[in-house]
Chain A
Amino acid sequence: MPSAQTYIRDAYPDSLVAVCSINMDATLDWILTYRQQYNLHIPLLHHAGAAFQRYRIGGQFGAWPPAHIIIDKRGVIRWRSIGTFSIAMQDAARMVGELIRE
């Protein structure tokens, strides 16, 4: 999460890129502690079980978090990967840069 903030959120202007993290099971206290610990300023969404359902992420879908999704300017999903080390953050940042120039 801190790497997403560093490589994507802080690397591109706010008007072109949005970054958010979504959690289903953490308490608000845990989220606040996490934010303070890593000095995060991206939106940290919590109790978002509906979002996990809509994106088919979770054990019941055979897709164990974490998951990374990149959406282009038209709202179309261009990248979806499941798993901890499925994508390097530098590669994700480069992909975001290409989609901005599209």
Chain B
Amino acid sequence: MKNPMVINWKIDALSPPACGGMKGGVFSSYVAPRSGTMITKKSDRLEGGFQPALQSWCNASFLLSLLTLLIFLSCGENPPDKAPTLPPPVEWRGDVYLNIRLQTAAGDTIAPDMIIVVLGADSLGYKRNLDTLHNIAEGNYILKVYGWWQGLLYRASPQTIIVEYNRTVTAEAMLTRSGALYVTVQASGALVSEFNLKIDSDTVGVGGNPRCIDGVPMGTHKLTAFRSENSLDYEGWVKNIMVNAAETTAVTIDLIVVAPDSGAHSPDIEALDADGQIWALSDHWDKVIYIYFYESA
């Protein structure tokens, strides 16, 4: 007797138009089995089945609390541990205009078509010269530029460029056949804190130890390192240091005490000769040198 009724309810519940009142059908389907209210006719369920359900206060309050719980949960969608969504970060960007020149081995200055650009830590690969790099984030960058010309590699000394918002900074560089030197200076086997350096006849200046000197022309060079400590002069030199283009050569120089006495390293001399040229004793340190000091008066 019960089975046909159950089947009818399910059909009514799934097809609202046949029920005439969806709520009535649904409520009835829950209420009837639990409350045990005898519903003998289909007409009772459609017309008056809703009334017995409302009379069951337990079920009504239960559904109300369930509805309240659902509303509560739907209102609190953001758990407290979820990070709030921020607008996308604003990046200030500028442009870099590449104006690169190349000094050929023959001495001519040309503008290469393609260059290799390293901006900061990023290698940008081949770029067209006299072109503009767009959308570079603001900041200070170390720019390194390399170029090829007739099968030879050229490079420029690294330079710092400052990229600013909405501006175009011009990066100018001269590519030459030059390399770098990595100079370490020690005295009695221990590293000194700083030293002064001379490459051939050009004084580089005082700096930390070890030190990287960039833009050294390709070829053989003589390095002289010197410093003063506790009123003693130290000096050291190495010669025939080969510097290749776009390569770094490591050099270690040993300092020894310089004094004008026999048995000590000779102090360097730099003075003008009668023709107005600078004559440096350190340019002749691989020779036997005879010096004659005299007075004219």
Interface residues of A (CB under 8 A from B): 1, 4, 8, 12, 15-26, 28, 30-32, 34-35, 43-48, 50-52, 54-57, 65-80, 92, 96, 99-100
CB of A17 within 8 A of CB of B296, answer no
B-side contacts of A15, CB under 8 Å = 287
A-side contacts of B263, CB under 8 Å = 76-78
CB of A23 within 8 A of CB of B260, answer no
Q: Which of A34, A55, A72 contacts B293 (CB 8 A)?
A: A55
CB of A47 within 8 A of CB of B271, answer yes
CA distance A72 to B272 in the complex (A): 23
CB of B291 within 8 A of CB of A76, answer no
CB of B292 within 8 A of CB of A22, answer yes
Q: List B residues 63-85 near A (Cβ within 8 Å).
A: none
CB of B271 within 8 A of CB of A65, answer no
A-side contacts of B293, CB under 8 Å = 21-23, 51-52, 55, 57, 65-69
CB of A4 within 8 A of CB of B290, answer yes
Say yes or no for B126: interface residue by CB 8 A criterion.
Answer: no
**Distance in Å from the Cβ of A48 to the closest Cβ of chain B?**
4
B-side contacts of A16, CB under 8 Å = 287-288
CB of B290 within 8 A of CB of A45, answer no
Among B108-116, B170-178, B243-251, B278-286, the one that faces the other chain is: B278-286
CA distance A92 to B288 in the complex (A): 12
Most buried by A among B262, B273, B288: B288
Interface of B is mostly: loop
Known: A18-B287, A68-B292. A32 touches B262 (CB 8 A): no
Interface residues of B (CB under 8 A from A): 237, 259-274, 279, 281, 284-297
CB of B295 within 8 A of CB of A75, answer no
Interface of A is mostly: mixed
CA distance A15 to B272 in the complex (A): 21
**Distance in Å from the Cβ of A31 to the closest Cβ of chain B?**
5
B-side contacts of A99, CB under 8 Å = 288
A-side contacts of B262, CB under 8 Å = 77-80
Most buried by B among A31, A34, A50, A51: A51
**Distance in Å from the Cβ of A34 to the closest Cβ of chain B?**
8
Most buried by B among A23, A47, A75, A79: A75
Known: A20-B279, A46-B272. A66 touches B291 (CB 8 A): no
Known: A46-B272, A48-B269, A54-B269. A21 touches B260 (CB 8 A): no
CB of B294 within 8 A of CB of A31, answer no
Q: Which of B259, B270, B291, B296 contacts A71 (CB 8 A)?
A: B291
CB of B285 within 8 A of CB of A17, answer no
CA distance A25 to B297 in the complex (A): 8
CA distance A79 to B291 in the complex (A): 10
CA distance A28 to B264 in the complex (A): 32
CA distance A65 to B295 in the complex (A): 6
Q: Which of A17, A28, A80 contacts B260 (CB 8 A)?
A: A80
B-side contacts of A76, CB under 8 Å = 263-266
CB of B273 within 8 A of CB of A44, answer yes
Known: A22-B271, A35-B274, A77-B266. A17 touches B289 (CB 8 A): yes
